[in-house]
Amino acid sequence: MLYPTLPKPAATALAGALAGLLFTACSSPSTTPDNASGSTASTDSATTEAPTAPANSPLQVVAQFREPQIVGVAVTPDGRVFGDFPRWDNNPVNPVAEIMPDGSVKGYPDANWNLWNESVRNEPQKHWICPQSVYTDKTGMLWVLDPASPGIKGTVPGGPKLVKIDPKTDKVMQNISIPESVASRKSYLNDVRVDTQNQYAYITESGVGSLVVVDLKSGKSRKLLAQHPTMMADTTLNIKADGHELIDPSGNKARFNADGIALSQDLQYLYWKPLTSYKLYRIKTEALRNPALSDAQLAQQIEDLGKVPACDGMELDAQNNLYMTTFEDHSIKRRTPAGKIELVVQDPRLEWPDSFSLTADGTLYVTNSAIHKTPTWNKGIGKQDQPYHIFKMSLPK
């Protein structure tokens, strides 16, 4: 997640501040290594006492990383665990990695894909630039979404892509370039869901605020509902984490557009919401797959599902319960099909719970990315007081 929607007078100032202060390591391809395995604390961190697990917490630690920051997780049917570590404040050696049983990380699918420096600058389609999301589809294929915007400062030309990897062979099976007409320089492709039956992928895009629909058979993509109100942050809200508002280096409050996304198990509906918003929306996927429909016609088919907590990641189970990483109060909640909001787990270790991966046996995996404690939102000083985690738990009955 993460792309701030700023008031116009502040946009230039923020870009300059971020460029000069926060994302030096990310602003261009770099050979400076980051700690790949997460064994030491960041040197710019202000360490405080780490939160501890409540006695009754159902969350089990799968892996933990002091640095770099993990965002996404994907788990295959045979139990292999993958994560992504975007090039935001850090410049990870392995931005896409397999998490090994001993907790170590292994660049995936190989070291060359994880390489991004001056020597490969002319091959943006063959390397992870700033991967944002990993996802396992119903057939067990792994998908990696790379918005190619290191430091969230603008896309690398030719870099935005959706890549399909077969974990059985560890080989890239499909590499779909998202053109600039769909993923503009100000875009930030955020999260993805894949419909293996109809061969389509659905992506939230947070920079401009839009949905991107990809025909996997042809490799062609379309940008839909750009800057429609349902895609945009609610500028009237003061979203908080740990009781504190998110304020950027220019003094602007956090504004994040379309982010969370979920595909119903029957593939009939796509759900989404802007991150800084308390509203949830859905639309029939059949409408999104119809290129004859204009944005105005699509907008007429959007269903407003009412108020939900602010959340980052979303996932639907077989009963159409919508699970949400509700970061404002260190929790995971779910919305029932009837619209009731239920608490699933509250645990202080869920410092900005981020992304889900749901396996067929009903195990829910979740990361905590502690976004609110990164330098971006703390005047350039990281305040992360615990490792980043991958947790897992069984779905409640």
Domains of the chain: 8-394 (2.120.10.30)
**pLDDT tens-digit series, residues 191-236:** 999 999 999 999 999 999 999 999 999 999 999 999 999 999 998 8
Residue 379 confidence class, pLDDT cut points 50, 70, 90: confident
Q: Is the pLDDT of residue 6 over 60?
A: no
* Buried-exposed string 179-210: b where 16+ CB fall within 10 A, e elsewhere: eeebbbeebbbbbbbbbeeeebbbbbbbbbbb
The closest alpha carbon to 120, from 241, 31, 221, 8, belongs to 31
Among 390, 391, 393, smallest CA distance to 70 is for 390
Q: Which two tokens stand for residue 34?
A: 């980051």
For residue 310, the 8-state DSSP code is: -
pLDDT confidence of 249, banded at 50, 70, 90? confident
Say whether 275 sits in a helix, a strand or coil: coil
**Contact between 120 and 129 (Cβ < 8 Å):** no
pLDDT attached to residue 163:
98
Q: Which of 320 and 1 is assigned the larger pLDDT?
A: 320
**pLDDT higher than 70, residue 294:** yes
Give residue for tokens 């792309």.
3
* 85 in Cβ contact with 37 (< 8 Å): no
The secondary structure of residue 198, as a DSSP letter, is T
Length of the chain: 397
pLDDT at 254: 87
- Range from 92-106, 175-189, 265-279, 373-387 carrying the lowest mean pLDDT: 373-387
Structure pTM? 0.89
Report in angstroms the alpha-carbon separations of 303 from 200, 230, 297.
21, 10, 13
Q: What pLDDT is attached to residue 48?
A: 59
pLDDT at position 126 is 98
**For all residues of the chain together, what is the average pLDDT?**
89
**Half-sphere exposure (Cβ direction) of 181: Cα atoms closer than 13 Å:** 4
pLDDT at 36 over 50: no
The answer to whether 157 and 150 are in contact (CB under 8 A) is no
CA atoms within 13 A of residue 284's CA, in its CB half-sphere? 8
Residue 188 has pLDDT above 70, yes or no: yes
Q: Give 327-364 pLDDT, tens digit per residue.
A: 999 999 999 999 999 999 999 999 999 999 999 999 99
Contacts of 4 by beta carbon, 8 Å cutoff, 6+ apart: 14, 248, 252, 254, 255, 256
pLDDT average, residue stretch 295-310: 98
Mean pLDDT of 154-161: 98
